[in-house]
């Protein structure tokens, strides 16, 4: 059912994005990949720093041209910041907001008209449990992820009449390098976390939904029978 479809995946060079790209590749989905370093998975690749907003539209257009069509857009790339508000530099704040929120907007702005024209497509935004709750010293990250959830909710209303589906996936702690070296990372060290492959499986589940089902938001936490 996914065979011969096309997907743009951001941030597939490691972590959750790499697991998603590999899972899609196994289903013979043709990939368009966007990140600063080249992912270890086959597909069209355009190098792009998503904090550099001016570069994004051109990079996406190149990928769309190479792929021909885009069935799926997976806005996965993200960056983390753990800082108290008085210590947060404007440049740090802007980098987090650019990569986590403005980049998904710019990617969507390029891809959505193609999906609308074909009356088909799915956009998956990888948000976070930080989209629905606050965490200590994560003001920029939480603001960006709350924003991404709000963006997805509004986008879904706009896309719906055109048969384009929007999904927001909100994972809890996933075993990647995202929070490595932070206080949170140290605190969670040794604790069981969600595997990136489980998030990838969830993304494929969303992409396989029939058109008459609306699965807009999914929160995924690790199931711990002791908690
Ligand atoms: N890990 C978690 O606990 C967790 C929980 C909930 C949600 N999430 C979300 O899941 C997504 C993936 O995170 P992850 O855990 O897989 O993190 P990760 O292992 O650190 O990977 C982040 C990915 O995003 C890309 N990226 C980061 N900054 C970029 C930039 N400026 N320009 C282009 N690409 C950039 C990286 O590629 P390059 O470095 O090659 O550019 C990399 O492929 C993020 O949106 C994150 O917020 C993660």
- Evaluate whether residue 12 is within a structural domain: yes
- Evaluate whether residue 66 is within a structural domain: yes
Residue 204, ligand 1, Cβ within 6 A: no
Q: How many A from CA of 179 to the centre of ligand 1? A: 10
Tell me which residue has tokens 């990617």: 107
CA distances from 184 to 83, 148, 178, 212 (A): 11, 22, 10, 40
Residue 74, ligand 1, Cβ within 6 A: no
CATH no. for residue 186? 3.40.50.720
- Evaluate whether residue 42 is within a structural domain: yes
Q: How many CA atoms lie within 13 A of 65 on its CB side?
A: 7
Q: How far is the C-alpha of 84 from the C-alpha of 137, rounded, in Å? A: 5
Q: How many A from CA of 126 to the centre of ligand 1? A: 10
Tens-binned pLDDT, residue by residue, of the chain (227 aa): 899 999 999 999 999 999 999 999 999 999 999 999 999 999 999 999 999 999 999 999 999 999 999 999 999 999 999 999 999 999 999 999 999 999 999 999 999 999 999 999 999 999 999 999 999 999 999 999 999 999 999 999 999 999 999 999 999 999 999 999 999 999 888 889 999 999 999 999 999 999 999 999 999 999 988 76
Q: Name the domain count of the chain.
A: 1
CA distances from 183 to 94, 127, 166 (A): 21, 21, 33
Residues 6+ apart with CB under 8 A from 134: 142
- Evaluate whether residue 50 is within a structural domain: yes
Q: How far is the C-alpha of 137 from the C-alpha of 172, rounded, in Å? A: 17
Closest by CA position to 98, among listed 49, 160, 146, 134: 49
- Evaluate whether residue 121 is within a structural domain: yes
If one residue of 9, 12, 16 were mutated to test the ligand 1 pocket, choosing by the most ligand atoms within 8 A of its CB, it would be 16
Tell me which residue has tokens 């960056």: 79
Asked if residue 34 lies in contact with residue 20, where contact means CB atoms within 8 angstroms, the answer is: no
User: Closest Cα to atom 36, ligand 1: which residue?
Assistant: 11
How many of the other CB atoms lie within 10 Å of CB of 44? 17
Beta partners for 223?
none
- Evaluate whether residue 162 is within a structural domain: yes
- Evaluate whether residue 206 is within a structural domain: yes
Q: How many A from CA of 161 to the centre of ligand 1? A: 31
Residue 97, ligand 1, Cβ within 6 A: no
Residues 6+ apart with CB under 8 A from 210: none
Q: Ligand 1 atom closest to Cα of 173?
A: 3
Q: How far is the C-alpha of 132 from the C-alpha of 144, rounded, in Å? A: 11
Active site residue 183: no
- Evaluate whether residue 110 is within a structural domain: yes
Q: How many A from CA of 182 to the centre of ligand 1? A: 15
Domain that residue 89 falls in: 6-220
Residue 39, ligand 1, Cβ within 6 A: no
Q: How far is the C-alpha of 31 from the C-alpha of 43, rounded, in Å? A: 5
């Amino acid at each position: 059912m996914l065979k011969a479809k096309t997907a743009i995946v951001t941030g597939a060079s490691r972590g959750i994005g790499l697991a998603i790209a590999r899972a899609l590749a196994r289903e013979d989905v043709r990939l368009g990949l966007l990140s600063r370093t080249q992912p270890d998975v086959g597909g069209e690749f355009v190098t792009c720093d998503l904090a550099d907003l001016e570069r994004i539209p051109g990079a996406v257009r190149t990928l769309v041209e190479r792929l021909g069509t885009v069935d799926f857009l997976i806005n996965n790339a993200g960056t983390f910041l753990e800082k108290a508000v008085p210590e947060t530099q404007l440049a740090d704040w802007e980098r987090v907001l650019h990569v986590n929120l403005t980049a998904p907007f710019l990617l969507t702005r390029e891809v959505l008209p193609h999906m609308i024209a074909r009356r088909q497509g799915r956009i998956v935004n990888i948000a976070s449990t930080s989209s629905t709750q606050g965490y200590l010293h994560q003001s920029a990250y939480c603001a960006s992820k709350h924003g991404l959830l709000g963006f997805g909710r509004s986008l879904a209303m706009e896309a719906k009449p055109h048969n384009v589906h929007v999904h927001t996936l909100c994972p809890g702690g996933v075993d990647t390098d995202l929070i490595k070296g932070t206080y949170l990372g140290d605190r969670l060290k040794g604790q069981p976390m969600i595997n990136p492959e489980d998030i990838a499986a969830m993304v494929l589940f969303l992409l396989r939904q029939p058109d008459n089902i609306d699965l807009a938001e999914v929160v995924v936490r690790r199931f711990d029978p002791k908690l």
